[in-house]
Structures are given as structure tokens and as C-alpha cells.
Amino acid sequence: MTTRHAVFALLLLAPSTAAAQTRSEGIRVEPAVVSVSSQGATTAILTFSAVAGYAPGEGVWCARLVEAMDRGARCDPATIYGQAPAGGARTVSSGGVFTDVMSVPASVAQRAYEAALAGEPSRFFYVRQFVSSAGKGIGPDQYVVVSCLLGGGGASAPFALTNVRLRLESETPVLFVTRGESPPPLLAEIAYTGTGRLRGRWEVVLPGEEPPSRYDLLTEGSLPPSERGLQRRYLEIERFNVLLLPTGRFTLPGPDPARLPTSVDGAYMILLRVEVSDDGRSDVRIGSAAGRTVIHNGAAAGFPMPTLRYVVGASRTRSALSSPRLVRLRLPPPDAFVSPDSALTLSWVAERGAGRYRVEIQRLADGESVLSAIVAEGVGVYDVPPFVLAGVPDGRVRWRVVALDADGSEVGHSEWRSVQRRPPS
């Protein structure tokens, strides 16, 4: 057997891992062994039972374990591959059960793969800490270990989504549709691990409806059983049910464009709602041997599904700008300071023939977008919501205005101007 082939050999659970599970004083995890892709990201649902009296702490990936007295096993600090980000798609269900969506980054899998090529075992560990609610010195923390076995990312891996992108067949920043006409076809480009049935539906948020929250956009398999069916529902347009082979990528056609509503002016939002799949590699079994319950978790994802917007009401009879031109900005002036308790109002000179404007605001430090808003023609003013500057750590942003024609194509834009929130005195 070559070194490369040996990398993918499945290993039995290390004795130290089994001992860690035994010493975990009641907290158990299902599954305790997960097959992960060595060439990309992997998502798996972990169910921790008997966690009453404990709060979930950090999650860490590492190559080796060290003893943690009578509290299980911890990661060896010298072999840490990465730490699970805080605020992921994790929820606590009732009955002392904690559901963790473990999303293994490609960078962690790559480090483990390189270590395996160098002669290390072809597995690594995910260690989840649970902090005693009794307080330090009263109740010990516990550490629960999951073994991650390197594989090729094919049929042996759990069926989970690792990336989803919605796009129109004709690329455009903002889609404007004349009332009564159909939008162009759309696609969902999906990256995944494993194999299974992708089931779900296309929904549309109508103008005036409350938009979905991040929780509403999670796949059903990413939620604990007690919370499935509680997400907000919208107008269902079309359903899908397709078998995804273990190739890792699939393009899902969008709904029939003729079925998308366009009878009322306003902004619409297209949602991709993914339902749970009964993939056996993603199933979790909890309970005693006499009465174990099987929970299906196929098609889980560690992120909310993306959305796609279109605006009804643009008229194709309007004249567009004859040639690209610079949009002239008014206020605030360059490098202006804004008081924390003052509103930020952006203004510009409205250009004749522009169908709409797009106001773009980015963090000055790294160019990350923090706001993109559409403003009707002839207005030339936009009041920035207070949370925009408040959500930027250093309070420094830049802004510009992009002119769009009736079809949503860019026909001109302004220069970038910076604005800074004045520190409180």
C-alpha cells in the first residue's frame, strides 16, 4: 500500500478517545466518529446528550490528546489545527440535548492531510468543552471527543452542504422587472459532501412581508428535531427532489420564471428552503439500548442559505444615460466626522435618465461591504440607519453612489468618500 493510499485507511477509535468518552461523567456524543473530506470542508451534526447543568464552551480541532485529570481528554496545545468560530449554527434543544453543527474548514482538513502524508495517523480530533454551571471549583468542566477520520469526501462522508450560491443566468447586480413580465431563469450552485437526496422548495417573500431571519434560512437538517417546522414560511413556488451523486458539485435549476410573482410593484426575495434528508451517514441515535431514537440530519449546513432579490416596477421605456459618467456627490464632504448621536445623511446630484441608484458603504479597513441600498430616481438623498456605523469597530467607512438604468445595469458611479464616527468625548 502506498503512503497516499495509507492516508485514507480507516482507523479504529484510539484508546485514549474511548477512555475520554467513558470519563465524561454522563455527557455522550453521537456520532463519536465522523468521516471527513481530506480535500475540502465537511459539515456534520453532533448530538450531545445528558448536558444538563453544563453550558457549551469552545470547540477545538487537534492532532493529539492529553489527559485532563478526571474530566476526559483535551487537545494538546502544540497540535491544535483550529478553533470552531463562535456564533455558528448551533442550538440547544430541550431534554438536556445539545446540537452542534460541526463545520470542519478546508484549512483544518488540509493540515491533517499533510500530517498524514508525513507519517502521522490519518485522523484528528474535535474536542468540545462543556462548562459547569455550578461555577469554578464546584463542578469540573467536561471535554467530549469526536474522532475525525480522513477520507476522500465521497459517498462515505455525511451528506451535507458546504457552499451554496444563487445567481441569475444573466449576471446583473440588481434585477429590475417590468410589472407582468417574468424574471430570467436562476440557478443554485451547490457544493456538498457525501451523497443523498436534496429535497426542498422555492419560496418568495412578497413586498411588505417581514423578511426571514438568519434562523429562518438555516437548512432543516441543521436544526434540532424540536425546532423543525417552526421556521417562518412564505409563498411556495415550486418543489425539488433530486439525488446528488458523490461528485461534490451540483447545479440546481431554479423555479419556473413564469411562476414568480410580478403583479405588484416592490422588492421580492427568492428563498431556497432545504428540507432534512434521511441519509444514513448523517443519522444520530440517542437514548438507551432499549429505546433508541434515530434522528435524520442529512443536508445540514453550517451557514444560512443565500437569497436573491428582484424589483418589480422598472419601466423599459425610460431612457438610460447615453454614456457612463461620474455621479457627483454633495454631502458629507470627504473625510467628514459624524457624532455618535447624529444621523448620517448622504446626498448627490440626481442624473437625468438614471432609473435608480445603489448606495454602497464599505468598511475602510478591509473593503468589506456593510450596506447596499436601492434609492428611487430623482431623490438624491439617503439616510443611513444608525446601526451601520455602530457596527463598524473603528467607525471608519467609505461610500459611493452607483447609477443604474431601467434594467439594473450600471451606467455611472461616483468616487469613494470616507466618513468616520467621532469618538465619544
What are the tens digits of pLDDT across the range 98-123?
888 888 888 898 899 898 888 888 89
Q: Answer yes or no: are the C-beta atoms of 76 and 113 closer than 8 Å.
A: no
Compute the distance between CA of residue 399 and CA of residue 78 in angstroms, rounded to an integer: 44
Give the chain's mean pLDDT: 79
pLDDT (0 to 100) of residue 217: 92
138 vs 337, residue with greater confidence: 337
Mark whether 294 and 415 lie in a shared domain: no
pLDDT (0 to 100) of residue 189: 93
Q: Answer yes or no: are the C-beta atoms of 327 and 380 closer than 8 Å.
A: no
Pairing of strands 97-104, 142-151: unpaired
pLDDT (0 to 100) of residue 254: 93
Domains identified in the chain, total number: 3
CATH of the domain at 347: 2.60.40.10
**Does residue 31 have a cis bond before it (omega within 30 degrees)?**
yes
Mark whether 49 and 66 lie in a shared domain: yes
Mark whether 246 and 335 lie in a shared domain: no
Mark whether 231 and 304 lie in a shared domain: yes
Phi, psi of 251 (to 5 degrees): -110, 115
Cα separations in angstroms, 114 against 16, 39, 120, 150: 23, 11, 9, 11
Q: Is 319 among the domain residues?
A: no
Choose the weakest-confidence range: 16-30, 338-352, 368-382.
16-30
Q: Is 320 among the domain residues?
A: no
pLDDT at 20 over 50: no
Mark whether 209 and 330 lie in a shared domain: no
Cβ atoms within 10 A of the Cβ of 370, count?
Answer: 16
Mark whether 144 and 180 lie in a shared domain: no
Mark whether 15 and 92 lie in a shared domain: yes
pLDDT at 377 over 80: no
Final residue in a domain of this structure, among 94, 125, 151: 151
**Grid coordinates in use for 270?**
427568492
Q: Answer yes or no: are the C-beta atoms of 198 and 252 closer than 8 Å.
A: yes
Mark whether 305 and 226 lie in a shared domain: yes
Q: Is 207 among the domain residues?
A: yes
User: What is the C-alpha R_g of the chain?
Assistant: 26
Mark whether 300 and 174 lie in a shared domain: yes
> pLDDT by residue (tens digit) across 41-67?
888 888 888 888 888 888 899 999 998
Mark whether 348 and 400 lie in a shared domain: yes
Q: Is 99 exposed, middle or buried (0-12, 13-18, 19+ CB in 10 A)?
A: buried
Q: Is 238 among the domain residues?
A: yes
**Which residues have a Cβ under 8 Å from the Cβ of 168 and sit 6 or more positions away?**
175, 183, 184, 185, 186, 187, 308
Q: Is 80 among the domain residues?
A: yes
Which segments within 178-320 are labelled E, that is strand?
Answer: 186-193, 196-205, 235-244, 249-253, 266-274, 284-286, 293-295, 300-301, 307-312
Mark whether 282 and 334 lie in a shared domain: no
Q: Is 210 among the domain residues?
A: yes
The parent domain of residue 329 ranges over 325-421
Compute the distance between CA of residue 344 and CA of residue 336 in angstroms, rounded to an integer: 10
Compute the distance between CA of residue 162 and CA of residue 273 in angstroms, rounded to an integer: 15
Mark whether 147 and 13 lie in a shared domain: yes
Q: Is 106 among the domain residues?
A: yes
Q: Is 317 among the domain residues?
A: no
Final residue in a domain of this structure, among 312, 347, 364: 312
288 vs 222, residue with greater confidence: 222
Final residue in a domain of this structure, among 265, 281, 312: 312
